[in-house]
Structures are given as structure tokens and as C-alpha cells.
Amino acid sequence: MEQKKILYADDDPEIREALQLLLSCEGYETIAATNGEEVLQLLDDSIDLVILDVMMPVMNGFTTCAEIRKRSAVPILFLTAKSQESDMTLGFSAGGDDYLVKPFSYNELINRVKAMLRRYYVYGAKADEQNNLIHCCGNIEIDPSQCLVLQDGKEIPLTDIEYRILLLLASHPKKIFSAQNIYESIWNEPYFYSSNNLIMVHIRNIRRKLGDDPQNSRTIRTVWGKGYRIE
């Protein structure tokens, strides 16, 4: 199997050393950066996953993530000492895919990395999708062959997770998906009740990018007490 390459950034040399040790022991090729500007200089098509500290000098993790999303759909994992929902929302709004709070264990980090790479290559933007065009909600089209979402012919820049949630719902119009259904389908991991907030943040971001009113979405409708659906 081809060796996966992970680019990570943290201004703390001890954390950079720990990341290098943990990731290389799992067989990953690693590239280190100390701030967001270095990440943007080092990022190319060979990178399979990016790990970003949130609080970095020169350019913080959120800004770096937003800049990465202008040129790549590579999975992005945030490392942060902050665990409030508002911080998670900022991270996901910037285009992040997952969030790991410091201090974290070896198993937590490696499991997240493996899961994100699996989603990206087996189920996500790098995977071979069905080639037919899916139309949803009139002016929105999803092209799985290119992993594109178009609204009135204009591309909507969704993250890999956002794209897969929208594709899942659009592939089964009128079907109600609970938060558990969505989480287990997209993350391919056991569901925990705390994952509800994660789903809500991603749904909110999809609606915002599609220009929908969060309280009265035309695309993804909330069925109170049950879940979400596309009509």
C-alpha cells in the first residue's frame, strides 16, 4: 500500500516531535510546519491529510484551513485546547473535517487519522462514486463522478464531509435520516449522543453555503425529533 503523507503544524516543538513520532511509528510519511504560512507553502497534491493547531503565530489554524479550502479538499484535523461548541463551529465553518482536543492520547490521534484517511479514500472525494447525475431541489445538482455540487450551474465549495452528507440525503429523497443514521453512514464509526452537535454544525454549514435560511431551509429540511431529509 502506498505510504500516506501527513502535513502537520504546531508552534510547540514538543507537540511537533510527538506528532512526528506517533505518525511515523504508524508508517506515515510526515512533514512538519510551525505556522499556517509554512503549511500553505508545503501543501501540494501529494499531501493526504493536514493536522492544524488552532493557536499559531503568523497565521492561525482557522485562517490556514480557509486558505487550504480554496485549493484542496484534503482532510483537515484541528488540534486545540478549546472544546466549546463555538470553537468547533468556527473550525467546521472554515472547512475542517474533525476536531481533537488537547491533551489527547496516542490512540485518539491515530484512530482519528485512520478514520479520516479511510473516509477520504474509500468513501469520500478520492473514491469512485456512481457516475449518474443526481438532481435535488430543482436548482441544485450533485455530480458524483467529479464530487461537485452545483447551484444554478455555479460550483458550491463544500468540504468532503459536507459533500458526503448532502449526497447521502440526496440519494434517498424524502427519507428521514436521524443523526445516528448520518453519523454511522458518513463516519463509519459507532454513534455517540455527543455526535449530535457535530452533525448539526455540518448541516448548518451546508445550508449557509447553499444560501438557505437556517430556520426554513429549502434544501435540507429538519423533521423535529426525527432527523433530516431532502424532498
Indicate if the pLDDT at residue 217 is higher than 90. Answer: no
Beta bridge partners of 78: 52, 99
Domains observed in the chain: 5-123 (3.40.50.2300), 134-230 (1.10.10.10)
∠ CA 65-66-71, nearest 5°, is 95
Q: Which amino acid is at 183?
A: Y
Q: DSSP 3-state assignment of 159? A: coil
| Range of lowest pLDDT (59-63, 105-109, 131-135, 209-213) | 131-135
- What pLDDT is attached to residue 34? 95
Distance CA 158, CA 42 (A): 23
Mean pLDDT of all residues in 18-22: 93
* Burial group, residue 206, by CB count within 10 angstroms (0-12, 13-18, 19+): buried
Provide the grid cell at 227: 432527523
The helix or strand, by DSSP H or E, that contains position 207, with its residue range, turns out to be: helix 195-209
Average per-residue pLDDT in the chain? 84
Chain segment 56-104, per-residue pLDDT in tens? 989 999 999 989 988 888 899 998 876 666 667 777 778 888 888 888 8
Chain segment 143-154, per-residue pLDDT in tens? 776 778 888 888
Distance CA 206, CA 132 (A): 22
**Is residue 198 very low, low, confident or very high in pLDDT (cuts 50, 70, 90)?**
confident
Distance CA 124, CA 75 (A): 10
Q: Are the CB atoms for 106 and 100 separated by under 8 Å?
A: no
Strands (E) located in the chain: 5-9, 29-33, 49-53, 76-80, 98-101, 134-136, 140-143, 148-151, 154-155, 220-223, 227-230
Q: DSSP 3-state assignment of 11? A: coil
* Nearest C-alpha neighbor of 113 from the set 11, 31, 22: 22
- What pLDDT is attached to residue 43? 94
Q: Which amino acid is at 82?
A: K
